[in-house]
Structure 1
Amino acid sequence: MPVSTLDRSVTDPVIRRLNALRTLSAQAPASLEHAVLEGMQRAGSGEDLISEGDPIDSVRIVLSGWLCRYKTLEDGRRQIVNFIFPGETCDAHAFLLAVMDHSIATLTPVVYTEIKRARFESLVASDRSLAEAFWCETLVSSAIQREWAINLGRRVALERVAHLFCEIFERLRPVGMIDGNSCIMPVTQMDLADATGLSVVHLNRTVQELRAAGLIVLRERTLTVNDLEALKDAALYSPSYLQHYRSK
């Protein structure tokens, strides 16, 4: 659904996230804002923005709300392979491929923008800092996927869930979505289970372990981390793969 009018501050998460990866030029925010506002859209919760096998002709950037990348097996089992947060692109360079190899769905109502391939290529060609920032984001996305592979392949359940909570905190921080030691957690336990490769029962038991240890409180769609350093220790977590604040 097209968006007719919205406060221009909705572009802030994009600018803040890209700035955390590369220092943008003085003119980059205005150029990016113009491109973002041209293609503003809304989608409700539980909608596919793009499905596996669909052709790709646009870059989608999330302005508000949560989405996920996922794959579904023939028998209906779903694996969430990443979350997508405000300020992040869904597919910055996917248009270089013929079709999508996974699906992207909304977990909450979202506002996003679609920038057509030609417009995006013109945008990054005109500003090196933007080009480098978007490439950095693509590389960070690949690094996140490697961490998720380690999560599923080597970390035990408590480490998996703790690691995911740490990562969510660190990815929301650059766009100002951390309030003290809390952040919104608008996803279901089924979503968290599908992201960590656990059953809902096992996921719930693991969350209870983290609560009992005094590390987190998860209530009313809000995650509170009582001791982030202790949670990181429990998760064997290092945020270096996110590359935040390494701008040049």
Structure 2
Amino acid sequence: MRVKRDDAAYRCYFGSDPAVVLKLEAFTSLSKDNRAALSSISRNIRYVDARRDLISEGDKPRFVHLVLDGWACRYKTLPDGKRQIVSLFVPGDFCDLNVYILRHMDHSIGAITRLKVAMITPDEMGSLTAERPRVTQALWWHELVTVAIQREWTLNLGQRSAYERLAHLLTELYLRLDAVRRARDGRCDFPLTQNDLADATGLTSVHVNRTLQELRRDALIELERKQLHIRDLKRMMDVAMFNPNYLHLDHEGRHLNANS
């Protein structure tokens, strides 16, 4: 699943973090100018402490948020305090490309780890998409993949067993991190708690604990000190019935000219 790229080609195009370029180039090649344009909209930086909200339900959205470093989640809560995580964000992810159109947030975005985000204004985003058709196409791809992930999460909740459900989520996150060079040889950072996993998979934390133990006993994973090791990715994908096509990481826009 790893798309081979020349690391030297990405130096300094997005500060010290090229994750957004790496992610968008899973779809198509970007010219040097397009990468520089992406970098230029990331100057307004905000840091959010772990377990704090980047933006809360009911707030008026004023920026497009791009995750530069750290993990975040989109979540909904019930009046009794129960939480459902409906998506996860890793470096290179835009939380919502067009959220500023809304009058108020209908969900919250919370930091799982300490979060570094770019705060992009509507005018900046409008200029970028008006002047950079290739970047615009890549951003459309990003949004379509986001919706595809949401469909897969719905399938995960409705049709997979707890064992398959957790194996699928762990595999997805590993492949998404691998695409932006945050994973290697089956290993990646993994800051999610058992409560986070429970809220993302519709299970109880006790059930998550038991299922993780089963995955360990079956020699599929090692998970300790906030590090995940998928010991056999092919076997993990088999037991999760994982089809990676919904992530669309196979350079689908390769036929496009990088200089456009």
Please report the TM-score for the alignment, with normalisation by the length of structure 2. Answer: 0.90
Give the conservation status (yes or no) of the 8 Å contact 2:192–2:226: yes
Corresponding residue for residue 179 of structure 2: 174
Give the conservation status (yes or no) of the 8 Å contact 1:215–1:230: yes
Give the conservation status (yes or no) of the 8 Å contact 1:217–1:225: yes
Deviations 1:11-63 (A, max 9, x none): 40111111112222331111111111x21111110111111222222111000
Distance in 2, matches of 1:18 and 1:187, equals: 25
Higher helix share: 1
Deviations 1:64-106 (A, max 9, x none): 0000000001110000011100011011122233322211000
Matched, 1:183 2:188: yes
Distance in 2, matches of 1:28 and 1:11, equals: 16
Distance in 2, matches of 1:23 and 1:241, equals: 20
Give the conservation status (yes or no) of the 8 Å contact 1:11–1:33: no
Q: 2:220 aligns with which of 189, 206, 215?
A: 215
Pairwise CA RMSD: 1.5
Distance 1:8 1:119, change over 3 A: closer
Distance in 1, matches of 2:115 and 2:81, equals: 25
Question: 1:98-113 alignment to 2 at 5 Å?
Answer: 98-113=103-118
Corresponding residue for residue 19 of structure 1: 25
Deviations 1:225-245 (A, max 9, x none): 110010001100011101112
Matched, 1:239 2:244: yes
Distance in 1, matches of 2:103 and 2:63, equals: 12
SS in 2 for 1:246: coil
SS in 2 for 1:193: helix
Q: 1:76 aligns with which of 81, 103, 118?
A: 81
Matched, 1:158 2:163: yes
Corresponding residue for residue 5 of structure 2: none
The number of equivalent residue pairs is: 242
Distance in 1, matches of 2:128 and 2:29, equals: 16
Structure 2, unmatched stretches of 5+, are: 1-11, 255-260
Q: 1:31 aligns with which of 11, 28, 37?
A: 37
What residue identity is the alignment partner of 1:39?
N
SS in 2 for 1:21: coil
Corresponding residue for residue 3 of structure 1: none
Matched, 1:230 2:239: no
Distance 1:134 1:75, change over 3 A: same
List structure 1 segments (4+ residues) > 6 angstroms apart after TM superposition: none
What residue identity is the alignment partner of 2:76?
K
Measured after TM superposition, the shift of residue 8 of structure 1 is: 5.1
Give the conservation status (yes or no) of the 8 Å contact 2:13–2:39: no
Distance in 2, matches of 1:61 and 1:21, equals: 18
What residue identity is the alignment partner of 2:181?
G
Distance in 1, matches of 2:13 and 2:124, equals: 22
Structure 1, unmatched stretches of 5+, are: 1-5
Q: Which moved more, 1:24-33 or 1:231-240?
A: 24-33
What residue identity is the alignment partner of 2:163?
L
Distance in 1, matches of 2:99 and 2:141, equals: 14
Distance in 1, matches of 2:33 and 2:14, equals: 16
What residue identity is the alignment partner of 2:87?
N
Distance in 1, matches of 2:30 and 2:99, equals: 22
